[in-house]
């Protein structure tokens, strides 16, 4: 099995949004990239869909935003609801941040569409080479590069690269082969995501495109995406209780009763899809080991409340691409890649992990007095102009970018 030499090429494992944004950012600055993806084609999965204002700016700088903006849902407002009291607790409006954000809204645009858009428009040359149905099977790091063994229907191949970037998800093969620990915890309860074509907003005028419902028995995230139809889809994320099996939760009867409890209506709900998944709060001990680097879910995973996972991963990709280009052009030494590790690990631990954990605790609080106090605090934050602006800066991950940039 011969090794295909490419001393100036970067290999990326994983063609999700983080891997593809990183590949595009490198390719646009003259770095040849090969992306290996296990799946046979871009996966139409129903994962992240909220792109925050700073991330929109990064996508705009890469020339992507103009093409995807008309295809998403522009969402300037998000609301916190008290499900028990059937009342809106707080509203945050990003339109009030026009002096801060170039795009003062969240774009509801599914991650699989972003991946497909990049692949279709840019991954068309040998210098931006995306290979689906290719599994990274082994890695051997050398002083001057990395050998990556991949398996496909054509057999085994060994590719040589200057650097290898793992963007291959929470169960990252790259991270595992590099021997980098994944630190943190997994929640005992699983989450269920249910998508329906029923338009809640036509009935409930308190809804915007992004909604968070606090409930000591069963909190809820409810948000809208375009999906593949003109009417769009509403996605509802609930926790499973400790006595509920995955099989039971996915039964048509249980899905129906869960939605009817949230919003009783005549007739059954039309379900587009439903899936149960495990949720963890984990961060890699290091985002760099020699010429192997991690970004996105390979480096950190978190619960979905607040839509921070994909955004943090794209921030990783842009930060890393900028530094790696300078290293490969010999403008800086490899110590700059250690700075990537310090900056983006700081953002993951101090902001993404901390904020998503706090978001979940707010929604699920069971103690009546503590719950009331937390909701009152949130209400006061939203009602004060300055505190609301600080909250939105943090929730949109702008503060994480600013503090990470200050890390030396």
At 5-42, the pLDDT tens digits run 556 899 999 999 999 999 999 999 999 999 999 998 87
Question: What is the tens place of the pLDDT at every residue in 337-347?
Answer: 999 999 999 99
What integer pLDDT is reported at residue 6 of this predicted model?
A: 57
Q: What phi and psi values does residue 97 have, to the nearest 5 degrees?
A: -115, 30
Q: Give a yes or no: residue 132 inside a domain.
A: yes
Residues of the domain holding 299: 3-73+108-185+282-365
pLDDT of 1 strictly over 80: no
Q: At what angle do helices 398-405 and 53-61 cross, to 10 degrees?
A: 70
| Averaged pLDDT for residues 284-301 | 98
Average pLDDT, the chain: 95
Is residue 146 included in any domain, yes or no? yes
In-domain check, residue 53: yes
Q: What is the mean pLDDT of residues 354-368?
A: 95
Q: Give the model's pLDDT for residue 229.
A: 78
Q: What is the mean pLDDT of residues 138-159?
A: 95
In a domain, 333, yes or no: yes
Q: In this structure, is residue 353 part of a structural domain?
A: yes
For residue 3, pLDDT over 60 is answered with no
What confidence score (pLDDT) does residue 230 get? 79
In whole angstroms, what is the distance from residue 372 CA to residue 353 CA? 24
How many domains does the chain fold into? 1
Evaluate if residue 391 carries a pLDDT over 80. Answer: yes
Residue 235 has pLDDT above 70, yes or no: yes
221 vs 374: CA distance, rounded Å: 18
pTM of the predicted model as reported, rounded to 2 decimal places: 0.95
Average pLDDT score over residue span 80-94: 97
Here the CATH number for the domain that contains residue 305 is: 3.50.50.60
Q: Is residue 30 part of a domain?
A: yes
Cβ neighbours of 83 (radius 10 Å)? 17
Instruction: State how far the Cα of 193 lies from the Cα of 305, in Å rounded to an integer.
Output: 12
Task: Answer yes or no: is pLDDT of 393 > 70.
Answer: yes
At 158, phi and psi to the nearest 5?
-115, 125
For 232, half-sphere exposure in the C-beta direction (CA atoms, 13 angstrom radius) is: 19
pLDDT tens per residue, range 310-324: 999 999 999 999 999
Going by C-beta distance under 8 Å and a sequence separation of 6 or more, which residues neighbour residue 311?
48, 50, 51, 52, 54, 55, 397
The verdict on residue 93 lying in a domain is no
120 lies in some domain: yes
Q: Is the pLDDT reported for residue 51 higher than 60?
A: yes
More confident residue, 228 or 182: 182
- Confidence at 2, pLDDT banded by 50, 70, 90: very low
């Amino acid at each position: 099995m011969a090794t295909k030499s490419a001393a100036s090429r970067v290999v990326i494992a994983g063609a999700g949004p983080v891997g593809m944004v990183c590949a595009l950012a490198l390719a646009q600055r003259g770095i040849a990239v090969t992306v290996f993806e296990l799946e046979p084609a871009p996966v139409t999965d129903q994962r992240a869909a909220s792109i925050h204002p700073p991330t929109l700016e990064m996508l705009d700088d890469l020339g992507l935003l103009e093409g995807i903006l008309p295809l998403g849902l522009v969402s300037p407002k998000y609301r916190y609801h008290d499900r028990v009291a059937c009342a809106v607790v707080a509203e945050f409006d990003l339109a009030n941040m026009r002096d801060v954000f170039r795009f003062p809204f969240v774009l509801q645009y599914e991650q699989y569409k972003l991946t497909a858009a990049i692949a279709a428009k840019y991954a068309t040359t040998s210098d931006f080479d995306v290979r689906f149905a290719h599994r990274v099977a082994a890695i051997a790091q050398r002083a001057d590069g990395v050998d990556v063994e991949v398996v496909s229907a054509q057999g085994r191949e060994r590719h040589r690269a200057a650097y290898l970037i793992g963007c291959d998800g929470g169960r990252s093969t790259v991270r595992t082969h590099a021997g980098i620990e994944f630190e943190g915890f997994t929640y005992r309860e699983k989450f269920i995501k249910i998508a329906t074509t029923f338009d809640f907003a036509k009935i409930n005028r308190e809804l915007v495109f992004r909604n968070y419902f606090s409930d000591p028995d069963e909190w809820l995230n409810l948000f809208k995406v375009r999906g593949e139809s003109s009417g769009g889809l509403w996605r509802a994320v609930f926790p499973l209780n400790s006595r509920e099996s995955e099989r039971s939760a996915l039964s048509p009867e249980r899905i129906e009763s869960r939605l009817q409890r949230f919003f009783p209506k005549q007739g059954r709900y039309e379900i587009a899809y439903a899936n149960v998944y495990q949720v963890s709060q984990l961060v890699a001990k290091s985002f760099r080991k020699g010429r192997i680097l991690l970004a996105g879910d390979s480096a950190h995973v978190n619960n979905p409340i607040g839509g921070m996972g994909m955004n943090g991963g794209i921030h990783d990709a842009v930060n890393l691409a900028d530094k790696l280009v300078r290293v490969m052009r010999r403008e800086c030494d490899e110590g700059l890649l250690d700075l990537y590790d310090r900056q983006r690990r700081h953002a993951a631990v101090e902001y993404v992990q901390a904020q998503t954990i706090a978001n979940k605790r707010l929604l699920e609080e069971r103690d009546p007095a503590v719950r009331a106090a937390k909701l009152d605090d949130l209400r006061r934050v939203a009602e004060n102009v300055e505190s609301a602006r600080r909250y939105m800066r943090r929730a949109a991950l702008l503060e994480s970018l600013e503090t990470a940039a200050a890390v030396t």
